[in-house]
Amino acid sequence: MGFLQRLLNRRRTDASPAPADQEPRSPNTTLDVVLYDGSHDLEVVGESYYQEALWRAVGGRRTERVRHDIQAVLVAETDNPHDDNAISVWIDGMQVGHLSREDAAAYRTGLLALQAREGRSIALRGVIVGGGVRNDGPGFLGVWMSHDPADFGLAPVVPPPVASMRGAMRTGLTEALLTDAQDDSYDLSWLQRLPADPVPAIGSLRRLLKDDPNPIDRHFMFCELEDRLYRSRDAFSSALQDYDDTCIQHDAEMDGIRDALLTKFGKVPILDTYRQMAIRQQKAKEWAKALWWTERGLSLYGSDCARPEAVDDLNRRAAAYRAKLTNESAGAPRPARPPRAAPSRTVVEALTCAACGASFDRQVTRGRKPQRCPGCR
């Protein structure tokens, strides 16, 4: 093994098939895959929607903490209505989550190239972690995968220390779930009890927000409520107004939430409320309000944002909104269309033919006058 491979601790092997006595749950369990590995974490998101599948993957619910090695297959989806670049994550033939929108956009081209080169599906080594004993049952499970970005055509980087998991953090929910059992300052077990249908979940989240004072719990409750309200915009007429009101209430508590998140993670995770509200105001051409939401988000991130691209996005939006406001304040009217030329009036004159002496009429035009009538020409 070369020095670079030793440095990256990268291994590529053929994945072992499922044991013969294990009944496949879907055709994915029989896929012929190539297994890749590395020293960099690749985060799986959306695990809260796939807890039953994750518990099946580790052999069933239990009270002990879970750390279960897995091989996760990456599937570049072709029919996802929400994200053209979507990449789902499958374990033992069951979907357990997906890559974040940003990671999917970055990795999809490389994943498809790997599949074409290998002629097989691509899997990554990983681990399911979490669980533990809670008052209302086992805690949440989360998934992390190991990989080498260079395998996917991305710039190779020096392997990060384990503590740099924070650098890959997005919303912070995965990290919060993974440490929920050890940290008694908050309790995310309410996520397990939320109804799958967005509308009933909205009522549950509102009731939870009435009683739970913990800023980390409240932050993720607000995030979940905002998500479900927006998804319900076609279900009831007040959903978008309720969404706006919830974002305003969320922001009113954000200074305390920021301090709690910074203490917990050492970084401020992505606060998607500010980007989404800026977009909402942008669509309404409320440039001043859109600018306020971007500047408020930037002030909360400060120099502590876990994802620099989130800061870059808000900065770009703020610059665009300032330009809009500058143009409006200048009051420069749109240039008026030039007036249409009035149709010319036809003038007829009488001429005498030099050849036959007859008179003839002609329309006055520019240029020399004819000397002969039409019959003598």
Q: Give the contacts of 40 (CB within 8 A, at least 6 positions apart).
A: 146, 147, 148, 149, 157, 159, 160
**Which of 216 and 5 is assigned the larger pLDDT?**
216
| DSSP string computed for 124-175 | EEEEEEEE-EETTEE--EEEEEEE-GGGGTSPP-PPPPGGGGGGG-SSSHHH
Under 8 Å between Cβ of 256 and 241: no
Give start and end residues of each alpha helix (H) in the chain: 3-8, 51-57, 101-118, 173-178, 190-193, 198-211, 215-231, 239-252, 254-265, 272-283, 287-301, 308-330
Question: Domain locations in the chain?
Answer: 1-174
- Which of these ranges, 45-59, 122-136, 219-233, 279-293, has the smallest mean pLDDT? 122-136
User: Rounded to the nearest 5°, which phi and psi values hold at 74?
Assistant: -95, 130
pLDDT in tens, 174-212: 666 666 555 666 677 787 778 878 888 899 999 999 988
**Stretch 256-268: mean pLDDT:** 91
pLDDT in tens, 144-154: 888 888 899 98
Bin 59: left if φ > 0, else alpha if -120 < ψ < 50, else beta.
left
**Stretch 94-105: mean pLDDT:** 91
Q: Report how far residue 297's alpha carbon sits from residue 275's, in angstroms, rounded to the nearest whole number.
A: 8
- Answer whether residue 361 shows pLDDT above 80: no
Q: Which helix (H) or strand (E) holds 180?
A: none
How do beta strands 87-91 and 94-98 pair?
Answer: antiparallel
pLDDT in tens, 4-60: 232 233 334 443 333 333 333 443 445 688 999 887 778 888 888 899 999 999 998
Asked whether the whole model's pTM tops 0.85, one would answer no
- Which of these ranges, 21-35, 72-86, 319-333, has the smallest mean pLDDT? 21-35
pLDDT tier at 165 (50, 70, 90 boundaries)? very low
- Which of these ranges, 8-17, 123-132, 208-217, 342-351, has the smallest mean pLDDT? 8-17
- Quote the mean pLDDT of the chain: 79
**Which of 203 and 170 is assigned the larger pLDDT?**
203
